[in-house]
Chains A and B, each alone.
Chain A
Amino acid sequence: SQKIEQNSEALNIQEGKTATLTCNYTNYSPAYLQWYRQDPGRGPVFLLLIRENEKEKRKERLKVTFDTTLKQSLFHITASQPADSATYLCALELKAAGNKLTFGGGTRVLVKP
């Protein structure tokens, strides 16, 4: 069966350090992999998209890597700030799925001052 796995344990990190989150998937051939941020009681907010033929993408303090051989994406928040505290969701768009996204369960990040 198809699965998207994110670490369900919260990640506690000191302000200024780099937070690294993992997204692993099985039995998918994704065209795109996306990362979203979700705050409590709110809808997810799109952060970054990386295509199957891209290895790395950056946006300000965020960096995403995509390894289709390992079936894994890493999401990095550098110089983390307390305002980065949220749940981060990984999502896959499959080649044959016509723009439909399937989400992982998310990893909660808590940045302590």
Chain B
Amino acid sequence: ETGVTQTPRHLVMGMTNKKSLKCEQHLGHNAMYWYKQSAKKPLELMFVYSLEERVENNSVPSRFSPECPNSSHLFLHLHTLQPEDSALYLCASSQIGGGDFYGYTFGSGTRLTVV
């Protein structure tokens, strides 16, 4: 148990479906992140919620929509995805401010396959 829980672990969805990925952190952190990891590519930052402010990567298509109802929960809503969106989606959290920084804590990820 890493302190960051992601569900589901695996998801197969059609291109016309709507689904949501869920992330919950039990660490009292004040920032949460969505990353995409495709085969043979570095992790790509998609969205950041930091101190209740959302920061986006402008290259993320609008078919991905984040939601952060409170500092412990983060969602990624998916709709009309494309096969190239198939990847491992990773949620992470961290504590900003207050002295030393101890890195990000990642969840185990959701393996998404778009068919």
Contact = CB atoms under 8 A, between A and B. Distances in A.
Interface of A: 4, 32, 34, 36, 41-47, 49, 89, 93, 98-106
Contacts of B109: 41-43
B64 to A, nearest CB: 17
Interface of B: 2, 4, 31, 33, 40-43, 45, 48, 50, 55, 88, 90, 92, 94, 96, 101-109, 111
Contacts of A101: 45, 104
A49 B45 contact: no
A32 B4 CA distance: 23
Contact of A89 (B43, B45, B105): B43
A49 B42 contact: no
A99 B50 contact: yes
A46 B42 CA distance: 16
Contact of B41 (A36, A41, A105): A105
